[in-house]
Structure 1
Amino acid sequence: MTRPSKRRAYCDGISRRGFLQLGGLWTTAGYLGLADLFRIEARAAQAARETDRAQSGNRPRKQGLGHKAVINVFLGGGPPHQDMFDLKPEAPAEIRGEFKPIETNVPGIWIGECFPRLAKLMDKAVIIRSIVGAVDRHESFQCFTGWTPDNLRSIGGRPSLGAVVSKLNGPVDPAVPPFVGLAPKTGHAPWGDPGGVGFLGAAYAPFRPDGPAMTNMTLNGVTLDQWNDRRGLLASFDHMRRDLDADGTLTGVDAATQKAFEVLTSSRLLDALDLSKEDPAIIQRYGDGKPYNYQYDGAPTANDHLLIARRLIEAGVRCVTLSYGRWDSHGQNFDLVRDHGSKLDQALSALIEDLDQRGLLDDVAVIAWGEFGRTPRINNQAGRDHWPPVSCAFLAGGGLRGGQVIGSTNRLGEYAKDRPVHVQEVLATLYHVLGIDTTSTTLQDPTGRPQYLVEKPPIRELI
């Protein structure tokens, strides 16, 4: 076979150089980067595709999602529990702070005044006021795994829930990754961690829209007309591969490459990330969370990420993680909560209502929480400092029993008084939503030993 010239075109009219640039799939390492991301999918059976998703609340409600999913909203920095969902109006002024409790639509349950929209949805939600087991570390690791970062570190560490569900359940759609991390890169890197793979390995890593994989999905000037015949394109790739192998440009390409091209030729993932395809009324309901105040080295209050999360779940994603705001309020605590809290109230309530109107709330669990709570006593900068002994979480959907508060803290919000709930119980509950039994399911670590996902049971009051 003669070596092709640099200007040679293949059967679809794309030059070899243009072909290599499709989706930014550069091959200097001998493998396609996007293909690496989807190697796991070669081991998963293709599930039935979902029906077209509804574009507004006025369309008929869908009869379930077809798969179970979790949206894990990480409130990086440690949100102040006593200013949000566990107010202490009878405590001294230096403890109770500036906010007043407001009634919810469930008699006897009161939450902070910054959350009037969520107050109207309390019958669909759960507040956990007695979360224990946290460590004083600014990172998302415990909220995504249930473990501390030091656990099994020598063999790669504990995998996050998203990585676990990727391995155990696989993709709903071969062209859609089961685990997506929307957390942007942050100045303090652990706040932007979408959840790691631990000892499971890179095949189960989250897809990150702001990472290399998203760059790989850009057509880089190639028109959609050139993608109409998928079979022809893949066939031309087979011919191209043989030519390139002859001059040493490309080696080691396997079936995972075809998966990468399936993603590139499928619109589902890209459509889910494209809010221009969403009903403008829905976009307005969520808001955009701007201006991004008090962000510093943390995540923005990007309300549109919660809407994208819903769209991704509808497209077939099983687990979406995101980082919302910077809640490390050592100073100006009350101004920060007014800003972040009101924006979170809008976005989180919109997400819950949106899922409910689409008939999806029973299939999707939504949780918002941080790495620890804040000190009961207000410091001399009108702030609250780190407080690992207790924190809170707001949880909705997933077929869990809503309209209740689990646990309580003492009069000053210092410690769990009734029904302490361990971080691992929360993760076990999310696994339960996904249909994974944590009492019997294990993963084999690199040493060949079986490892349980968590060591605590699901929250009994919720299931």
Structure 2
Amino acid sequence: MLTLYGKPDRLCGGLSRRSFLTIGGLTFGGSGLGLSSILRAESQQAAGSAPSSTTGLGHKAVINVFLAGGPPHQDMWEIKTEAPSEIRGEFRPIPTNVPGIQICEVFPKLAAMMDKAAVIRSVVGCKDRHESSQCLTGWISTEMQALGGRPSIGSAAAKLQGAVDPAVPAYVGLAAPAKHAPWSDAGTPGFLGTSYAPFKPDGPGMDNMKLNDISLERLRDRRALLSSLDNLRRDIDTSGMMAGMDAFGQRALDVLTSSKLLDALDLTQEDPAVVERYGDGKPYKYQYDGAPTCNDHLLIARRLVEAGARCVSLSYGRWDSHGQNFDLVRDHGTKLDQCLSALISDLDQRGILDDVTVVVWGEFGRTPKINASAGRDHWSQVSCAYIAGGGIRAGQAIGATNRLGEHATERPVDVQEIIATLYHNLGIDTATTAIVDPTGRPQYLVDASPVSELI
């Protein structure tokens, strides 16, 4: 494993604060690709960086925040004050800076910037499945499974739009490891193949990702690197895997020979006041088998899109509140209020909020009736979402549920409509854009149009 020496401070999930101490932790999609197999693509390394825009970000991006486990819709953006106590729960609504819109009391900072965001109170089309697939692709994980599944937004954007900068992957997954693996799923490339998988800075252990006795200073020395090549017989490969590994390897080499990605991941280079404003989300509570509340991941996501990433996905907390629902929401919600409000303010102050779409949602909602453990169970009939940036028409609440929060009564918004909106904000028209699958058939990204109220 190639180790870089520096300040050993670490971020949430094990990310190094200084120059990414262990290069062996850098992985693409958890494929297990070793550095000793990447150098055939060295001669194809792209030179230079994409030209930067004098205003704004210079490209469009998405930050997809997955609230793994299923957040309680009626305890976030649409408090049911008129429902009976066994349904209403403990929270009270607070006014926002948009007249007529109220949200949960645990979100005072977000309430003060409601004019920069929109809440969707009537998300439908969810399945009772503990996985991130619908929030990352618009489809359940079994869709087109025989061909590898549907590609995530980031993978599709990488395929259709390419990298902004060869040293920065178009798609980055920051999902912290979780015992329940689907809750730390950063997304998959589906039928597009491994070369479009998300780059995972804190992926699973890459024990075979080694350059023995080669320092960082010698990394660009082709002759030294060639001495580490394995004897993999690419000439007899008929599966196409080697081609994907070559593209994979080229991306890895671009990363390892540039400091741009490492700098984006290094929060010691950030203004300490900004880091403090986001917070760290600690102490981690109610985590169990899910993701921690990594506030710093939202700050890293902002730094990554500034560096050139088109899509960054992450998991935030564990919202599967079968018990202690209200204590959990007070903990997770208050921390989310801090880091999400900081992210939106940060993007706005930097003049790039219109270029970056931030979406926050989970796989389904929670039951209207509170159970005997003061929790709420799975409820796929309706869910919710929060969206900001990307040039949307902000300052509105879309849709509504009935008095008990059981189902959508006003403007049901399908999951795929939200995904289509994210594509639209990236500059991809889902009505006309298709990607050819391995059988040669064109596949549309989703079967829905963007949310018309937002664009």
* Partner of residue 181 from structure 1, selected from 160, 173, 189: 173
Q: CA deviation at 1:391?
A: 0.5
1:36–1:155: structure 2 CA closer, same or farther, 3 Å change rule?
A: farther
Is the contact made by 2:394 and 2:454 (CA closer than 8 Å) also made in structure 1? yes
**How far apart are the structure 2 equivalents of 1:42 and 1:213?**
27
1:429–1:275: structure 2 CA closer, same or farther, 3 Å change rule?
A: same
1:377 and 2:377 equivalent?
no
**CA deviations over 1:1-59 (Å, ceiling 9, x no partner):** xxxxxxxxxxxxxxxxxxxxx95599xx99744976997996989762448xxxxxxxx
Q: Note the aligned Cα RMSD (angstroms).
A: 3.1
1:201 and 2:188 equivalent?
no
* SS at structure 1 position matched to 2:158: helix
**How far apart are the structure 1 equivalents of 2:228 and 2:180?**
42
Q: Please name the residue that 1:454 is paired with.
A: 446
Q: CA deviation at 1:447?
A: 1.1
Q: Please name the residue that 2:106 is paired with.
A: 114
**How far apart are the structure 1 equivalents of 2:79 and 2:42?**
46
Moved more, 257-266 or 405-414: 257-266
1:320 and 2:307 equivalent?
no
1:297 and 2:284 equivalent?
no
Q: Please name the residue that 1:152 is paired with.
A: 144
* Structure 1 length-normalised TM: 0.84
Amino acid of the residue matched to residue 209 of structure 1?
Answer: P
Q: Please name the residue that 1:423 is paired with.
A: 415
Q: Note the residue ranges of structure 1 that are not aligned, 5 or more in a row.
A: 1-21, 52-61
1:244–1:325: structure 2 CA closer, same or farther, 3 Å change rule?
A: closer
1:223–1:100: structure 2 CA closer, same or farther, 3 Å change rule?
A: same
Amino acid of the residue matched to residue 453 of structure 2?
Answer: E
**How far apart are the structure 1 equivalents of 2:144 and 2:299?**
35
Is the contact made by 1:303 and 1:344 (CA closer than 8 Å) also made in structure 2? yes
1:6-17 maps to which residues of 2 (within 5 A)? none
1:84 and 2:84 equivalent?
no
**How far apart are the structure 1 equivalents of 2:42 and 2:434?**
18
1:397–1:129: structure 2 CA closer, same or farther, 3 Å change rule?
A: same
1:399–1:116: structure 2 CA closer, same or farther, 3 Å change rule?
A: same
1:235–1:350: structure 2 CA closer, same or farther, 3 Å change rule?
A: same
**CA deviations over 1:266-289 (Å, ceiling 9, x no partner):** 111001111111110000000000
* Structure 2 length-normalised TM: 0.85
* Partner of residue 336 from structure 1, selected from 321, 328, 341: 328
Q: Please name the residue that 1:4 is paired with.
A: none
Q: CA deviation at 1:355?
A: 0.4
Amino acid of the residue matched to residue 71 of structure 1?
Answer: I
**How far apart are the structure 2 equivalents of 1:80 and 1:423?**
16
Q: CA deviation at 1:400?
A: 0.7
Q: Please name the residue that 2:87 is paired with.
A: 95
Is the contact made by 2:38 and 2:253 (CA closer than 8 Å) also made in structure 1? no
1:410 and 2:402 equivalent?
yes
**How far apart are the structure 1 equivalents of 2:299 and 2:25?**
29
1:351 and 2:340 equivalent?
no
Q: CA deviation at 1:262?
A: 3.1
* SS at structure 2 position matched to 1:262: helix
Amino acid of the residue matched to residue 347 of structure 1?
Answer: C
1:458–1:138: structure 2 CA closer, same or farther, 3 Å change rule?
A: same
Q: CA deviation at 1:263?
A: 1.9
Q: Note the residue ranges of structure 2 that are not aligned, 5 or more in a row.
A: 1-21, 235-244
Is the contact made by 1:131 and 1:391 (CA closer than 8 Å) also made in structure 2? yes
Is the contact made by 2:110 and 2:337 (CA closer than 8 Å) also made in structure 1? yes
**How far apart are the structure 2 equivalents of 1:330 and 1:195?**
26
**How far apart are the structure 1 equivalents of 2:432 and 2:70?**
32
Amino acid of the residue matched to residue 50 of structure 2?
Answer: A
**How far apart are the structure 2 equivalents of 1:211 and 1:367?**
23
Percentage of matched positions with identical amino acids: 65
* SS at structure 2 position matched to 1:320: strand
Q: Please name the residue that 2:269 is paired with.
A: 277
**How far apart are the structure 1 equivalents of 2:414 and 2:32?**
46
**How far apart are the structure 2 equivalents of 1:39 and 1:118?**
46
**How far apart are the structure 1 equivalents of 2:424 and 2:204?**
32
1:207–1:216: structure 2 CA closer, same or farther, 3 Å change rule?
A: farther
1:294–1:286: structure 2 CA closer, same or farther, 3 Å change rule?
A: same
